[in-house]
Amino acid sequence: MQLQIAGQSYRVVSSAPEAELHRLADTVNAKIAEVVPRGRSAPPQVMLLAAMALAHELEAERGRREALERRSRDILRRVLLRIDSALEDGAPDSVEG
């Protein structure tokens, strides 16, 4: 399959679906368009700049996700403690049969 990135054609062999590869190439091209002024050709270094920008965005998203996971675990832990406490308060002191 052929992909166009920064005006260059690349032959790609992958087990990923073709639509996914085109979507990823579009993402790279969009990042390149952010880095290169409109109407100018993309120098070879632009691929490095786009890769660095995408890696930075990925790290930022991972950080946000990890913070959200920590907050979610903390909230869940507090909710479970409150449930346990409520169940203990409502439980009979002893069971006689």
Q: How far is CA 84 from CA 59, 74, 77, 94, in A?
A: 37, 15, 10, 17
Q: For the full predicted model, state whether its pTM sits above 0.85.
A: no
Written as six digits, the tokens of 28 are 């790279």
Question: Do the strands 2-5 and 8-11 form a parallel or antiparallel pair, or are they unpaired?
Answer: antiparallel
What tens digit of pLDDT does each residue of 17-52 get? 999 999 999 999 999 988 887 777 778 788 888 999
* CA–CA gap between residue 39 and residue 15 (Å, rounded): 35
- Determine the pLDDT at residue 37: 75
* CA–CA gap between residue 71 and residue 68 (Å, rounded): 5
